[in-house]
Amino acid sequence: MSEKKRIAVLVSGGGTNLQAIIDAQKSGIIKSGEVVLVLSNNEKAYALERAKNAGIKTITVKRSAYTEGQIFKAMMDEKIDLIVLAGFMTVLSEEFTKEFPRRILNVHPSLIPSFCGKGYYGLKVHEEALKKGVKVTGATVHFVNEIPDGGEIIFQKAVEVADDDTPETLQKKVMEQAEWILLPRAIEKVCSEM
């Protein structure tokens, strides 16, 4: 068997998707890759604690001193094969994404092409879905390119919207029923095909 692909996960917040990745790695869902680095642009992100608890190296690139150059250097230093955006609240530039073609994944909390693109992240996605009155939403894992949420789709999973859903309950359902399932599967698929 070839050696495992080296994965970096970029985070900004609580790290629930990171935890799903760590758990999937432990349970054998992800077997062709291994998370070797967690990078955050928020030094207070709980995701960093999750990484430390799992024995994964962490790096913080402070927002005030944020440069893609620092992220790029970290990816090169750690010989990263695959970058996973897991709640990373910064849009990467075309220059950066072109350096890693079909090697950056993102999970988006809707069924692209609905409720996606610039400005659609976090609770706003679910607020807009409820405002529109959709009966089905979900999550999409896609490759990242220079267009926010514009890369090739890898997996999608639908989640039913209940009449009494709030943005918060819908966000939780989409994470539990779609994001935490799809993201590890997509990571394994991409790593196994590299």
Q: What is the per-residue pLDDT across 59-99, written as a single tens digit (0 to 9) for each?
A: 999 765 557 889 999 999 999 999 999 989 888 889 999 99
Phi, psi (degrees; rounded to nearest 5) at 85: -90, 115
Angle at 123 between CA 68 and CA 58, to 5 degrees: 35
The reported pLDDT for the residue numbered 90 is 84
Q: What is the per-residue pLDDT across 145-162, written as a single tens digit (0 to 9) for each?
A: 989 999 999 999 999 999
Has residue 193 got a pLDDT over 60? Answer: yes
Angle at 16 between CA 10 and CA 21, to 5 degrees: 70
User: Percent of the chain, pLDDT > 70?
Assistant: 97
Looking at residues 123-142, what average pLDDT do you find? 97
Q: What angle in degrees, to the nearest 10, is found between the helix axes of 16-27 and 46-53? A: 20
**Closest residue by Cα to residue 107 from 146, 74, 153:** 153
How would residue 104 be classed by pLDDT, with cut points 50, 70 and 90? Answer: very high
Say if strands 153-160 and 136-143 run parallel, antiparallel, or are unpaired.
Answer: antiparallel
How many separate helices (H) and strands (E) can be counted in the chain? 7, 7
Phi, psi (degrees; rounded to nearest 5) at 140: -135, 135
The reported pLDDT for the residue numbered 130 is 97
Catalytic residues: 108
Looking at residues 160-172, what average pLDDT do you find? 97
Sign, CA torsion 108/14/191/118: positive
Tell the residue number behind the tokens 């955006």, with chain if given. Answer: 85
Has residue 1 got a pLDDT over 60? Answer: no
CATH superfamily of 5-193: Formyl transferase, N-terminal domain (3.40.50.170)
The reported pLDDT for the residue numbered 2 is 65
d(CA 165, CA 2) in angstroms, rounded, equals 45
DSSP secondary structure letters along 84-132: EESS--SPPPHHHHHHSTT-EEEEESS-TTSS-STT--THHHHHHHHHH
The reported pLDDT for the residue numbered 64 is 58
Q: 194 near 82, Cβ under 8 Å? A: yes
Q: What is the per-residue pLDDT across 28-43, written as a single tens digit (0 to 9) for each?
A: 999 999 999 999 999 9
3-state helix, strand, coil in the chain (%, to 5): 40, 25, 40
